[in-house]
Amino acid sequence: MDPVALAGAAAVRRAIPTGRLEELVFETAAAALADAGLSRADLDAVVLGASDELDGRSISSMLTAAPAGALLKDEAKVPDSGLHALALGVMKVLSGSAATVMVISWGAPSECSREAIQRTALEPFVERPVGTIDGVAFGLTAAAYLERHGRALADLDRRADVRHARVGGDRGGDGWIAYPLRRRHVAPVVDGAAAVVLVSGRPPAGAAPAGWIRGLGWASDVHAMAERTPGAWPALEVAAARALGRAGIAIADVAGYEVDDRTVIHEALALEGLGAAAPGTAFDALDGELGSRVNRHSGDGFAGIPVHCTGLWRLATVCAAWRDRPGGGPLLVHDSVGLGGQSHAVVVAEAVRE
């Protein structure tokens, strides 16, 4: 595909929430425009990646579209994730419908009970009473992975120790999430937002892109976990293959990985689904050279996962890093969403050359 320029970006992560949601949205959008050297008047379209349930009101875009920059602009909301919203923004540019697009996503878990929301996503007659919310689904996924590949609980602990040492602070404790996952294996969630400004291959005057979107892919699996491949993410393999194919590169060309690492099992499954590690070997690979190429720019999720916008937040953070240090090879940016990682999105991004 033709590359789409990342003209500007902004990423916000707040361990202690401040301000109203629309203020968070406005400040993030304004910062991305400032980084791009553009104004709201330059925007042709705005794509939101947000969840009504997390935002606490039906059709939350009624309130947030304008602070996102969409007043009297083309606007659409993609609730799946920030990276899914990015995909629509890229397609609007590639189709010629828009030359400059704001893509913005956020999540404010401080305002809601995420477990209550997760419960309402379950089928009401069988699944809800069983209670297979995210933590349980993560546990099932982790257990299946360990069983499938003959890995040990010690692998989870070892990786968690490395990551906690990296970020410092609270280690999460020994309390159970769902076997085999304990609190120390799971990242804390925080409020956050991210925005990127996309422009077509010929950026407008005044815009100095930080990087390029060279490829992207996204794919979903079925809802019922019992019908999926246990302990693996085949939908991610599909998404990654499409992203790499569109970028015209192979996995060996990838310089780094910015992946969903909200649990230690997410990190392993992500790297294996992307093709960075063979099935069952991610924990070993992370002990080696691969470990230094994972979330190098956006940092470890154990420092706090800005929910829903996680993937776009990582991409925006990468753009900021590129402003300071241009160059380097292509990166794969990944996010997973849905029960047990039902859906995935992958972006191939690369900095402008020095």
Query: Which spans of this chain sit near another protein (rule: CB under 8 A)?
Result: 1, 45-46, 52-53, 56-59, 61-63, 65-66, 70-80, 84, 87-88, 90-92, 94-97, 117-118, 120-121, 123-124, 217-224, 227, 234-235, 238-239, 242, 246, 338-339, 342-343
| Matching residue, tokens 């990087």 | 211
Cα–Cα dist 313/50, whole Å: 13
- Determine how many CB atoms are found less than 10 A away from the CB of residue 1: 16
- State yes or no: cis peptide before 180, omega within 30 of 0: yes
Q: Which residues sit opposite 193 in a β-bridge? A: 12, 106
Nearest distance, CB of residue 122 and another protein, angstroms:
8
Nearest distance, CB of residue 54 and another protein, angstroms:
10
Burial class (CB in 10 A: 0-12, 13-18, 19+), 224: exposed
Nearer to another protein, 15 or 224 (CB): 224
> Pairing between strand 305-306 and 189-199?
parallel
Nearest distance, CB of residue 168 and another protein, angstroms:
35
Which pair of structure tokens corresponds to residue 45?
């379209």
Q: Which of 291, 317, 292, 288 is nearest to 304 (CA)?
A: 317
Give the sign of the dihedral formed by CA 119, CA 123, CA 128, CA 130: negative
Which pair of structure tokens corresponds to residue 189?
């969630």
- Determine how many CB atoms are found less than 10 A away from the CB of residue 113: 10
CB 85, CB 313: distance < 8 Å: no
Cα–Cα dist 174/154, whole Å: 14
| Matching residue, tokens 């993560």 | 138
Cα–Cα dist 326/349, whole Å: 12
Nearer to another protein, 165 or 224 (CB): 224
Which pair of structure tokens corresponds to residue 283?
């924990």
Q: Which of 237, 203, 200 is nearest to 219 (CA)?
A: 237
Amino acid identity of residue 337, one-letter, is V
Cα–Cα dist 166/150, whole Å: 27
Rg of the chain (C-alpha set): 19
Which pair of structure tokens corresponds to residue 16?
């202690």
Cα–Cα dist 126/53, whole Å: 22
Nearer to another protein, 120 or 169 (CB): 120
